[in-house]
């Protein structure tokens, strides 16, 4: 572990990927707040954020395809450059037009999914599986530090300055991420050629690996039906009369819980039964959603979001680790693309949550979200012995 901690390649990979993730998180906050301010409807928050779901899903598969054929460092370089240019569009486009937000969300979705499969492929290829639990916790501690801090940065910049300051900050950290690619390890993976394919297909992986099959379904259901909380936060901030600052604090509290949970997972590790960790962390998250739904106290809501984040940290680390441990040299790119694919379905989840909240109300939507995971958990655990022992 000490040698890993001193490895500049690992630090460059983790910091670069997370800096881009910070910028993309700011984009989500900006778009969700604007969508609610313009329309005053949860449905439009879900539509604006959810409209990017389809291209993200396809681009994650594209990331796997490209990384089996081309140099991973170049893939990530060009992906980050395109994301930087996308942020540049925010300087010249009227972002207070709801239809412009829809178009921009779609365009962001086209590129956002590409870097993740190559990233995890080069991490596993370079550092192996033995230290993955530690590497996951290390990576997600950076990511969730951003989940805690970035909402506060967003709230400060939006409340005190123009949106151009926020966009400039996002561009600045992406430029740093691009520079750090110079310190990435070399991509030594064998590549597919025109006359030779050396990697397994998606269909073969799903047919022959029951753990990946059932985990793909579980994470898909949770991503679609379990994230309604993020759609209704602007409404609850409005109801409590705390405005954009309170909205940012809501996200920051959740991010702080995730960050602290990741730090704990760094020291505790993910216990032997990873599926049990996944189930327990899901229960913690869902109880929090239901309490938040009926909370009439702003400070109680902040505490609940913090505790939900703590549970969510263990869920992310455990879910990623289950997928990673199932990889081999012949399917690594595609299995990590599958994880990216199913975990990114939360964009559709935002749309689904917005529709349910609009048809019923935010409380009913959160209760439905909190109860949605358990039928598929029961079916999967009964059906797959291998899943029960991961």
Q: Which of 10, 14, 208 is nearest to 128 (CA)?
A: 10
Domain of 312, CATH number, reads 1.20.1250.20
Buried b (16+ CB within 10 A) or exposed e, 86-118: bbeebeeeebeeeeebbebbbbbbbbbbbbbbb
* Cα 390 from Cα 385, distance rounded (Å): 9
Query: At 2, is the pLDDT very low, low, confident or very high (cuts 50, 70, 90)?
Result: low
Question: Which residue in 33, 114, 111, 16 sits closest to 66, CA to CA?
Answer: 114
- What is the chain's length? 390
Q: Which residue has the higher pLDDT, 198 or 116?
A: 116
In a domain, 214, yes or no: yes
Q: Report yes or no on 198 lying in a domain.
A: no
Cβ(177)–Cβ(17) below 8 Å: yes
Give per-residue pLDDT as tens, 209-224. 999 999 999 999 998 8
What the block records as the tokens of 75 is 């893939």
Could you read off the pLDDT of 5-22 as tens digits, one per residue? 678 999 999 999 999 999
The pLDDT > 90 percentage for the chain reads: 36
**Least confident range of 198-202, 239-243, 275-279:** 198-202
Count Cβ atoms below 10 Å from residue 182 Cβ, excluding itself. 10
Q: Which residues pair with 193 in a beta bridge?
A: 196
Place of tokens 């590549």: 191
Q: Give the Cα separation of 206 and 13 in Å (integer).
A: 29
Residue 105 has pLDDT above 80, yes or no: yes
Q: For residue 23, tell me if it sits in a domain.
A: yes
Task: Give the total number of structural domains in the chain.
Answer: 1
Joined together, the tokens standing for residue 388 give 């029960």
Distance CA 110, CA 55 (A): 5
- Confidence tier at 183 by pLDDT (50, 70, 90): very high
Sign of the alpha-carbon torsion through 361, 364, 370, 373: negative
Instruction: Tell me whether residue 1 is in a domain.
Output: no
What is the spatial distance between Cα 284 and Cα 295, in angstroms, rounded to a whole number? 16
Residue 189 lies in a domain: no
Query: pLDDT digits over 308-349, tens only?
Result: 999 999 999 899 889 998 988 888 888 988 998 888 787 778
What pLDDT does residue 155 have?
79
d(CA 37, CA 81): 30
Helix residue ranges, H only, the chain: 2-5, 8-39, 42-50, 53-67, 72-89, 98-112, 116-127, 132-160, 163-180, 202-208, 210-225, 229-240, 243-268, 274-294, 298-325, 332-343, 346-359, 362-371, 374-383, 385-388
Query: In this structure, are residues 34 and 95 in contact, taking their beta carbons and an 8 Å threshold?
Result: yes
Q: For the segment 29-47, what is each residue's pLDDT rounded down to a tens digit?
A: 888 888 888 888 877 877 8
Q: Which pLDDT does position 13 carry in this prediction?
A: 95
pLDDT tens-digit profile of 50-100?
A: 777 678 778 888 888 888 888 999 999 999 999 999 999 989 988 788 888
Residue 160 lies inside a defined structural domain of this protein: yes
Q: What is the DSSP letter of 186?
A: P
pLDDT of 199 > 80? The answer is: no
- Structure confidence by residue, pLDDT tens digits, 343-379: 878 777 877 888 898 898 999 999 999 998 899 999 9
Domain around 176? 7-184+205-388
Q: If we measure between CA atoms, which residue out of 188, 146, 192 comes closest to residue 169?
A: 146
In a domain, 191, yes or no: no
180 — pLDDT class (breaks 50, 70, 90): very high
Mean pLDDT of 223-250: 86
Q: Give a yes or no: residue 196 inside a domain.
A: no
Q: The pTM is what?
A: 0.79
């Amino acid at each position: 572990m000490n040698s890993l901690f001193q490895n500049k390649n690992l630090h460059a990979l983790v910091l670069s990927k997370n800096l881009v993730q910070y910028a993309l998180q700011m984009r989500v906050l900006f778009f969700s707040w604007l969508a609610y301010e313009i329309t005053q409807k949860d449905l439009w928050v879900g539509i604006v954020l959810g409209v990017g779901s389809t291209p993200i899903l396809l681009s994650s598969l594209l990331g796997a395809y490209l990384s089996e054929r081309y140099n991973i460092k170049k893939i990530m370089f060009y992906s980050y450059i395109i994301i930087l240019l996308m942020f540049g569009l925010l300087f010249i486009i009227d972002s207070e037009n709801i239809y412009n937000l829809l178009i921009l969300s779609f365009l962001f979705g086209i590129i956002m999914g590409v870097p993740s499969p190559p990233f995890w492929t080069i991490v596993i290829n370079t550092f192996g599986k033995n230290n993955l639990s530690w590497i996951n916790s290390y990576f997600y501690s950076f990511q969730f530090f951003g989940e805690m801090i970035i909402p506060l940065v967003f709230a400060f910049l939006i409340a005190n300055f123009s949106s151009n300051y926020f966009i400039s900050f996002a561009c600045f950290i992406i430029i740093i991420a691009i520079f750090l690619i110079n310190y990435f390890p070399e991509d030594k993976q064998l590549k597919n050629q025109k006359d030779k394919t050396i990697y397994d297909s998606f269909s073969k992986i799903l047919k022959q690996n029951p753990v990946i099959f059932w985990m793909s379904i579980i994470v898909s259901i949770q991503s679609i039906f379990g994230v309604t909380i993020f759609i209704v936060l602007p409404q609850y901030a409005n109801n409590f009369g705390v405005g954009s600052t309170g909205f940012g604090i809501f996200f920051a509290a959740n991010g702080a819980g995730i960050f602290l949970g990741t730090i704990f997972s760094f020291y505790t590790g993910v216990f032997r039964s990873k599926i049990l960790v996944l189930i327990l962390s899901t229960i913690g998250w869902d109880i929090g959603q239901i309490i938040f739904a009926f909370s009439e106290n702003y400070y109680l809501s902040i505490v609940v979001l913090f505790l939900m984040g703590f549970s969510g940290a263990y869920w992310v680390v455990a879910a990623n680790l289950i997928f990673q441990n199932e990889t081999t040299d012949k399917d690594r790119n595609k299995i990590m693309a599958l994880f990216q694919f199913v975990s990114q379905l939360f964009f559709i989840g935002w749309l689904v949550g917005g529709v349910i909240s609009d048809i019923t109300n935010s409380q009913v939507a959160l209760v439905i979200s909190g109860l949605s995971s358990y039928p598929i958990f029961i079916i999967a655990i009964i059906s797959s012995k291998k899943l029960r022992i991961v």
